[in-house]
A and B are shown apart, each in its own frame.
Chain A
Amino acid sequence: MAEVTMKVNGKSVTKSVKGNTLMTEFLRDELRLTGTHVGCDTSQCGACTIHVNGKQVKACTMFAGECDGAEIGTIEGQAAPDGTLNAIQAAFKEYHGLQCGFCTPGMVMAASSLLKDNPKPTEAEVRHHLEGNICRCTGYHNIVRAILAASGQDVPAVAAE
């Protein structure tokens, strides 16, 4: 066991962790922040996407011990404390960017890191950025539309392919 200290959604936490504790386990089981989902646990689906020092990573493919001293962002830190959704979350709601919602925390975290680096992405750039995020329900079009809307751009009527 080793002690780790990190800031999770702005709050400092210190805990003892085992060497093989994954960030998904640390967030979900230790901190009870269950918004970070585990879709595959094999680094493929992106449902577990979080931010570590502002960069998106797959929480199922990073050890908690490697986050010592880091700033962590999860889906729980996205809305305002009074529950008001941020622009990306509000756009997902408005544009029906979710159905079952399982992939949504990862999609929102991925979208927010895209828009931080590239505030006005093209549709192709949005799709390229979402390569590591799998959705079984929506067929992606409404997710792409929601992200374009959240970036303040006109939303094209993305045609079904």
Chain B
Amino acid sequence: MYSFDLVRPTSMEDAVAALGQEDSQPLSGGQTLIPTLKQRLAMPSTLVSLSAIAELKGVSVDGNTLTIGGGTTHAEVAAEAGAYPGLAALAGQIGDPAVRNRGTIGGSLANNDPSACYPAAALGSGATIVTNTREVAADDYFQGMFATALEENEIVTAVKFPIPEKAAYIKFQQPASRFALVGVFVSKGADGVRVAVTGASNDGVFRWSEAEEALNGNFAADAVEALSAPSGADMISDLHGSGDYRAHLVKVMTKRAVAKANG
């Protein structure tokens, strides 16, 4: 690793001030950033740890909205987001217990890895990403692999999820990393059905609109069976699977997610 200073502010105000310095970068759980720093793919002069900021942590429910602080760990979401079981289950399947004790929802959404789980939940629920300066709808937030609507050093402070009537996430896990080879999050809420796919596309997480249309008519695995799988041409092709294989998995995982949501 290159050398840098680590600061640990206890308030958002101090964090924002520290991030105003040149070449500073936020550090949350570090489960993505520390491996990146070890590979010398980033060279911050100051890392601003968000882990001591109490206001970034916790899960709360207000009416039909579940709000998760940006610094809340995957383990905390798994344990405390019982009001939204499909989301709690997704958090409980990320990585392994040690990763879940450190990794956070804010870090995962800021990073927007094309194979990460939370982007599917946020897009598939129609969540709102709250930052220190504004609120962004999930539909506008994800902008391709590792790209988001965040400005430099804008901090994800919370994520607001409307709690749907039914939802489930199924991932076909890449067995070594436990990331999604393909993961599909399906929800049926007040504004209709959403189907969000992670792990598959070269453009990152996306909504499979044909499946949404079919499921709005009939929320059953059979409705997906009748569709043809999306095209594999724009899908990720690597040693773990070809684009066509991933496209095939999108359909299979969508069927399973609908069956699980109807569970």
Interface of A toward B, CB cutoff 8 Å: 2, 18-20, 22, 41-44, 46, 49, 52, 55-58, 60-63, 65-66, 68, 110, 113-114, 129, 131-133
Asked if B35 and A43 make an inter-chain contact with CB atoms under 8 angstroms apart, the answer reads yes
Cross-chain contact of B102 among A22, A44, A57 (Cβ < 8 A) = A57
One digit per residue, 1 when the CB lies within 8 angstroms of any chain A CB and 0 when it does not, for chain B 23-57 equals 00001001100110110000000110101000000
Residues on A with C-beta less than 8 A from B176 are 44
State how many angstroms separate the Cβ of A127 from the closest Cβ of chain B: 12
Asked if A66 and B8 make an inter-chain contact with CB atoms under 8 angstroms apart, the answer reads yes
8 tightest A-B CB contacts, nearest first = A132-B96, A19-B6, A65-B6, A131-B96, A55-B101, A20-B1, A19-B5, A58-B98
Cβ-based interface call for B214 (8 A)? no
Cβ-based interface call for B75 (8 A)? yes
Asked if B6 and A2 make an inter-chain contact with CB atoms under 8 angstroms apart, the answer reads yes
Add 8 more A-B contacts to A22-B34, A63-B6, A66-B30 (CB < 8 A).
A19-B3, A61-B30, A62-B34, A63-B34, A66-B6, A110-B97, A131-B178, A132-B96
Interface of B toward A, CB cutoff 8 Å: 1-6, 8, 27, 30-31, 34-35, 37-38, 46-47, 49, 51, 75, 95-99, 101-102, 176-178
Asked if B8 and A62 make an inter-chain contact with CB atoms under 8 angstroms apart, the answer reads no
Taken together as a complex, chains A and B put the C-alpha atoms of A6 and B98 apart, in Å, by 20
Q: Which of B8, B30, B97, B101 has the most CB of A within 10 A?
A: B97
What are 20 inter-chain pairs, A to B, with CB distance below 8 A? A19-B46, A20-B3, A43-B35, A46-B96, A49-B98, A55-B101, A56-B97, A57-B101, A58-B102, A60-B34, A61-B31, A61-B34, A61-B35, A65-B6, A65-B8, A66-B8, A66-B51, A113-B97, A114-B97, A131-B95
Asked if A43 and B34 make an inter-chain contact with CB atoms under 8 angstroms apart, the answer reads yes
Asked if B6 and A62 make an inter-chain contact with CB atoms under 8 angstroms apart, the answer reads no
Residues on A with C-beta less than 8 A from B1 are 20
Q: Contacts A43-B34, A63-B6, A66-B8 given: A57-B49 contact, CB under 8 Å?
A: no
Residues on B with C-beta less than 8 A from A43 are 31, 34-35, 99
State how many angstroms separate the Cβ of B40 from the closest Cβ of chain A: 11
Q: Contacts A19-B5, A20-B3, A62-B30 given: A42-B97 contact, CB under 8 Å?
A: no
Residues on B with C-beta less than 8 A from A114 are 97
Q: Count how many pairs of residues, one from A and one from B, have CB atoms less than 8 Å apart in the complex.
A: 80
Taken together as a complex, chains A and B put the C-alpha atoms of A41 and B96 apart, in Å, by 16
Q: Contacts A2-B6, A19-B6 given: A62-B102 contact, CB under 8 Å?
A: yes
**Interface residues of chain A: helix, strand, loop or mixed (majority):** mixed
Asked if A20 and B37 make an inter-chain contact with CB atoms under 8 angstroms apart, the answer reads yes
Taken together as a complex, chains A and B put the C-alpha atoms of A56 and B98 apart, in Å, by 5
Taken together as a complex, chains A and B put the C-alpha atoms of A110 and B37 apart, in Å, by 26
Taken together as a complex, chains A and B put the C-alpha atoms of A156 and B51 apart, in Å, by 42
State how many angstroms separate the Cβ of A65 from the closest Cβ of chain B: 4
Question: Of all chain B residues, which has the CB nearest A132?
Answer: B96
Taken together as a complex, chains A and B put the C-alpha atoms of A57 and B104 apart, in Å, by 13
Asked if A68 and B8 make an inter-chain contact with CB atoms under 8 angstroms apart, the answer reads yes
Asked if B6 and A129 make an inter-chain contact with CB atoms under 8 angstroms apart, the answer reads no
Asked if A132 and B101 make an inter-chain contact with CB atoms under 8 angstroms apart, the answer reads no
Question: Of all chain B residues, which has the CB nearest A133?
Answer: B96
Taken together as a complex, chains A and B put the C-alpha atoms of A148 and B76 apart, in Å, by 26
Cross-chain contact of A63 among B2, B30, B46, B75 (Cβ < 8 A) = B30
Taken together as a complex, chains A and B put the C-alpha atoms of A49 and B1 apart, in Å, by 21
Residues on B with C-beta less than 8 A from A110 are 97-98
State how many angstroms separate the Cβ of B44 from the closest Cβ of chain A: 9
Residues on B with C-beta less than 8 A from A18 are 3
Q: Which of A18, A43, A110, A133 has the most CB of B within 10 A?
A: A43
